[in-house]
Chains A and B, each alone.
Chain A
Amino acid sequence: MAEQQQGERVPTVIADGVHIVYRVNGAKTGKGSATAALSRILKRGEERGVRKVHAVRGVSFIAYRGEAIGLIGSNGSGKSTLLRAIAGLLPAEKGRVYTDGQPSLLGVNAALMNDLTGERNVILGGLAMGMSREQIKERYQGIVDFSGINEKGDFITLPMRTYSSGMAARLRFSIAAAKDHDVLMIDEALATGDRKFQTRSERRIRELREEAGTVFLVSHNNKSIRDTCNRVLWLERGELRMDGPTDEVLKEYEKFTGK
């Protein structure tokens, strides 16, 4: 392991010609009838009932320690998919991603259950992110305080389905942001909650950035990209269109989107 030295640029993430293909069952032809499905099964060979979506096409880049990288591009350009591939959550079809330590996606939404109390969700979410029971106990109060759920009464002991969507989003962010990460990836998580919570979460993200080696941020908000990132990758139709300093890329991007 190379230790970080002043002036030396240590790579933390290397993407080498990454291709990602989603396979969607039952979307091949417009006709979804049972007989069509049957004839597809009978016609053996290449997986016939399956439609392939080539979401990321041959993206290569090297990210260095201390960088904050923004990912921009129009909807469906493969930004979130690329993040998942870097995190090792979506296996790449072709090419490889090399990482230093375990990159993690900021977000625990999928692990939480609406029928459980906020309290149990904090514990469940923490465990799902790989924290130990002791760590969770230690940070529990911090998470609850940060979310501000209890500002309007004892909501943390109520099931999450009773929360307003803003409250639920705040709790989810608070749980997700409770863990420290080597390589941190944030997928448009900034825009949750009310104004007060937004400033608080932006501050927390800045803290996380300082602790983390490298940060990736997916966002449609050019301002938050400008505020947090010093390098930007611009994806369009799954291809890397531009890679460079924030100002240069954003200028081109804004020209492209006609803003």
Chain B
Amino acid sequence: MSETTHDGTVAVTTPVSPDEGLTAARLAATYGLSVSGARPSLVGYVRQLWGRRHFILAFSQAKLTAQYSQAKLGQLWQVATPLLNALVYYLIFGLILKADRGMGRSVYIPFLVTGIFVFTFTQSSAMAGVRAISGNLGLVRALHFPRASLPISFSLQQLQQLLFSMIVLFAVAIAFGSYPSPSWLLIIPILALQFLFNTGLALIVARMGAKTPDLAQLMPFIMRTWMYASGVMFSIPIMLEDRPGWISDVLQWNPAAVYMDLMRFALIDGYGGGNLPPHVWALALGWAVLVAVGGFVYFWKAEERYGRG
């Protein structure tokens, strides 16, 4: 009790000031205080996010590096994992089930591998997105940043992951007789559009997952259903030849199938434009813009509520 405060200079007694009697809201307005944790305007939000672009990128790279840092082979797994994945699917669908109806082996193998990698890109973005907020509550409750940084960062991580897979994919394509050609340049806009779509999707499921964490349990089943419906390991029109045409049309219009087909068309020599649904580029662009913009606005609408226990 013998101690006195180091700052005896600041007098703190019962507050008596000319502001006495004002309501909190009035007092706040007088001194220009703002509500803590209020949601910024949409434009302001975009500006905040842009200000955090270095964090978003650094966080995605950090996650990517941390993933394999305990493994002896280290970052080699970035390439080895997709390669092993491709091998397993080839073993089952190529050799055992012979799902390559109507395609030669030189087309089917790159067809299958492209399908798997492109779909995995969307799948893992969605899976990471659903846990982006609910799995990082500690971060959300400790630091200030626009919360959309997290889902965006996670889909950026998946994009970098995919770039490693592309190395494997190029090797597979070349090994089966599809050599680099100008059409390979199309890969860039395709990936850009798919990345936009994935980010939008991640933002949507991130908000849903923040409210209902159970979604993370459900997600694998939804994604698997989606995968089988998108023709990852078979050609939709050939597989559904004897069914009404609209079924295969609808399946081909779904975004995952659109991006997969475009990528196959760009990459594989024997996979011509005849395999693509009509207006496929418009579909690819439409899905990307619709989901990215819609997802962003949907996520922003709940910005002030993330982190509530």
Question: A residues bordering B, Cβ < 8 Å?
Answer: 1-2, 9-17, 21-25, 53, 60, 62, 64, 66-68, 84-92, 96-100, 102-105, 107-111, 113-116, 120, 123-124, 127-130, 132-133, 159, 223, 226-231, 244-247, 251
Tell me if A229 and B65 are in contact (CB < 8 A): no
Chain B residues with CB under 8 A of A114: 66
Chain B residues with CB under 8 A of A87: 36-37, 144
User: Does B44 have its Cβ within 8 Å of any Cβ on chain A?
Assistant: no
Tell me if A11 and B27 are in contact (CB < 8 A): yes
Question: B residues bordering A, Cβ < 8 Å?
Answer: 1, 3-7, 10, 12-15, 17, 19, 24-25, 27-28, 30-38, 51-52, 54-55, 58-59, 62-63, 65-66, 69-70, 136, 138-145, 213, 304-305, 307-309
- Would you give 20 A-B contacts (Cβ < 8 Å), ordered by A? A9-B17, A11-B28, A14-B27, A25-B213, A67-B12, A89-B141, A90-B307, A91-B37, A98-B28, A110-B141, A111-B59, A113-B63, A116-B65, A120-B62, A124-B62, A159-B69, A226-B3, A228-B6, A230-B7, A231-B12
CA distance A203 to B200 in the complex (A): 46
Closest A residue to B308 using CB positions: A91
**Contact partner, B24, options A16, A223, A228, A245, Cβ 8 Å:** A16
CB distance from A96 to the nearest CB of B (A): 6
CA distance A100 to B52 in the complex (A): 21
CB distance from A169 to the nearest CB of B (A): 15
CA distance A65 to B18 in the complex (A): 16
Closest A residue to B13 using CB positions: A245
CA distance A92 to B35 in the complex (A): 11
Chain A residues with CB under 8 A of B70: 115
Tell me if B5 and A226 are in contact (CB < 8 A): yes
Chain A residues with CB under 8 A of B35: 96-99
Closest B residue to A49 using CB positions: B214
The 4 closest A-B pairs by CB, nearest first: A88-B37, A22-B309, A16-B24, A98-B28
Chain A residues with CB under 8 A of B144: 87-89, 102, 104, 130
Tell me if B309 and A1 are in contact (CB < 8 A): no
CB distance from B284 to the nearest CB of A (A): 33
CB distance from B248 to the nearest CB of A (A): 37
CB distance from B55 to the nearest CB of A (A): 4
CA distance A105 to B5 in the complex (A): 24
CA distance A96 to B267 in the complex (A): 57
**Contact partner, A251, options B1, B31, B140, Cβ 8 Å:** B1
Closest B residue to A223 using CB positions: B3
Closest B residue to A69 using CB positions: B12
CA distance A13 to B34 in the complex (A): 9
CA distance A246 to B52 in the complex (A): 39
Chain B residues with CB under 8 A of A124: 55, 58-59, 62
Chain B residues with CB under 8 A of A251: 1
Q: Kindly list 12 other residue pairs between chains A and B, CB separation below 8 angstroms, not including A21-B309, A227-B6.
A: A2-B30, A11-B33, A15-B24, A85-B36, A86-B36, A108-B143, A109-B138, A115-B65, A115-B69, A123-B58, A231-B12, A251-B1
Tell me if A110 and B139 are in contact (CB < 8 A): yes
Tell me if B32 and A2 are in contact (CB < 8 A): yes
CA distance A103 to B143 in the complex (A): 10
CA distance A84 to B37 in the complex (A): 10
Closest A residue to B38 using CB positions: A88
CB distance from A240 to the nearest CB of B (A): 14
CB distance from A23 to the nearest CB of B (A): 6
Tell me if B37 and A100 are in contact (CB < 8 A): no
Pick from A1, A10, A14, A227 the residue with the most CB of B within 10 Å. A14
CA distance A228 to B5 in the complex (A): 7
CB distance from B170 to the nearest CB of A (A): 29
Tell me if B36 and A113 are in contact (CB < 8 A): no
Chain B residues with CB under 8 A of A229: 5
Chain A residues with CB under 8 A of B14: 244
Tell me if B33 and A14 are in contact (CB < 8 A): yes
**Contact partner, A1, options B27, B32, B305, Cβ 8 Å:** B32
CB distance from A27 to the nearest CB of B (A): 11
CB distance from B114 to the nearest CB of A (A): 31
Tell me if B19 and A11 are in contact (CB < 8 A): yes
CA distance A114 to B63 in the complex (A): 11
Tell me if B10 and A67 are in contact (CB < 8 A): yes
Tell me if B309 and A88 are in contact (CB < 8 A): no
CA distance A91 to B13 in the complex (A): 30
Chain A residues with CB under 8 A of B140: 89
CA distance A69 to B81 in the complex (A): 53
Chain A residues with CB under 8 A of B38: 88
Pick from B5, B33, B36, B305 the residue with the most CB of A within 10 Å. B36
Chain B residues with CB under 8 A of A115: 65-66, 69-70
**Contact partner, B145, options A10, A105, A130, A226, Cβ 8 Å:** A130
Closest B residue to A251 using CB positions: B1
Tell me if B304 and A99 are in contact (CB < 8 A): no
Tell me if A111 and B139 are in contact (CB < 8 A): yes
**Contact partner, B33, options A12, A53, A129, A230, Cβ 8 Å:** A12
